[in-house]
Amino acid sequence: MLKDRIMGLDIGDKTIGVSVSDLLGITAQGITTIKRKSKKQDVEELKKIIDEYDVKKIVSGLPINMNGSFGPRAQKVQNLCEFISMETGLEVDFWDERLSTMEVENMLIQGDVSRKKRKKVIDKLSAVIILQGYMDSHN
């Protein structure tokens, strides 16, 4: 049974990690890391991926503080996601990403990946962890 594809985002100040679900809605796969330029240009990059993978929904990591409160980073992410939703017409859900980057960092360190290489893939892999967590909780 084929499912609608979901895009996962790990939104940072400098980059956006992007993942997409497989056609069965079982696994999340890392697609790319977008270097941030402007809200408009960032969304144009996302639209290309949305079209290429026929994405029907977006899930963004939400950087909630460890105490559960919403700080300036969470507000920035919510604001960008509102813009993404308006520009794409797609619903954007949020997933608590508090430990996703740390989880990816630990996996890469255990895999003996150099610091330089970790920097290149961490956002994309964080997007995978975010989307996979979301899908696992909804399946």
- All structural domains of the chain: 5-138 (3.30.420.140)
pTM across the whole model: 0.91
Report the pLDDT value the prediction gives residue 100, as an integer from 0 to 100. 72
Report the pLDDT value the prediction gives residue 1, as an integer from 0 to 100. 72
User: 29, 130 in Cβ contact below 8 A?
Assistant: no
Q: Within 13 Å of residue 32, how many CA atoms lie on the same side as its CB?
A: 11
Q: Rounded mean pLDDT of the chain?
A: 91
d(CA 29, CA 39): 24
Residue 136's pLDDT band (boundaries 50, 70, 90)? very high
Report the pLDDT value the prediction gives residue 87, as an integer from 0 to 100. 97
